[in-house]
Amino acid sequence: MNTLFLHFLRFRHFWPVVLILLVPVHVASSAVRVSGNPLVVVDMERVQRETKAGKAATAHLEAVRQRLQQGMDEFQKSVKNESEPRRAEMVTNAKLQLEQHLKLYKTAAWGLVNTDILRETGTWQKARPGTLVIARQILLAADEMLDITPDIITAMDAADVPTFAELPVVNIAPAVCAPGKKPAAKQPPPKKGQAMPDVR
């Protein structure tokens, strides 16, 4: 598989906040400049990993995963008396539904974190007009002196942690997962503070 595509998949959580600058880069006086403007970088993975918001998102998604798994365990108990072929297909359909819900929660949670990253990066840049900020992950190499990640982490940790969606209420109806049943239509990601509907 193409290496560039693999990098795209690896960093897909924060690509919406990445600005790709296809302009010449010049090195002068120990500072990197793009078309005459100073350039700095932010390590998006580190921000997501080390900030209070990023840690809260990770913990939230783990709680969501556990809640969905509990629902899955209960569902498997409820269909244990079904014939093996029917039970296997029902369990497979249920797992697909829960995987879709987990993806929605991931999209919503990291969307909130990335919004905060954009806000703090924008605030930093406005205080330094003309400076260009780019994600470190799209560069092959960058000097540490150009990395403002610690500043962004400090700013984000000083702000409020995002309020994530409420944990899902899992109630998988056997009829929905019966063989031949079409998968449920994709739902929009949960909004801040909003619970996902029952998984039916």
Domain boundaries, the chain: 3-177
Count Cβ atoms below 10 Å from residue 93 Cβ, excluding itself.
21
pLDDT tens sequence for the chain (200 residues): 444 434 444 445 554 454 433 333 333 333 455 555 689 999 999 999 999 999 999 999 999 999 999 999 998 888 888 888 888 888 998 999 899 999 999 999 999 999 999 999 999 999 999 999 999 988 888 888 999 999 999 999 999 999 999 999 888 766 555 555 554 444 555 655 444 434 43
| Separation between Cα atoms, residue 184 and residue 108, nearest integer Å | 19
- Beta partners for 40? 133
Give the predicted TM-score (pTM) of the model.
0.70
- 124 closest CA partner among 147, 108, 102: 147
**What crossing angle do the helices spanning 84-126 and 149-158 adopt, rounded to 10°?**
100
User: How are beta strands 31-34 and 37-42 bridged, if at all?
Assistant: antiparallel
CA atoms within 13 A on the CB side of 181: 20
Residue 38 phi/psi, 5-degree rounding, is: -65, 145
Using alpha carbons, select from 140, 162, 128 the residue that is nearest to residue 39.
Answer: 128
For 147, list phi and psi in degrees, rounded to 5: -90, 115
The 10s digit of each residue's pLDDT in 129-164 is 999 999 998 888 888 899 999 999 999 999 999 999
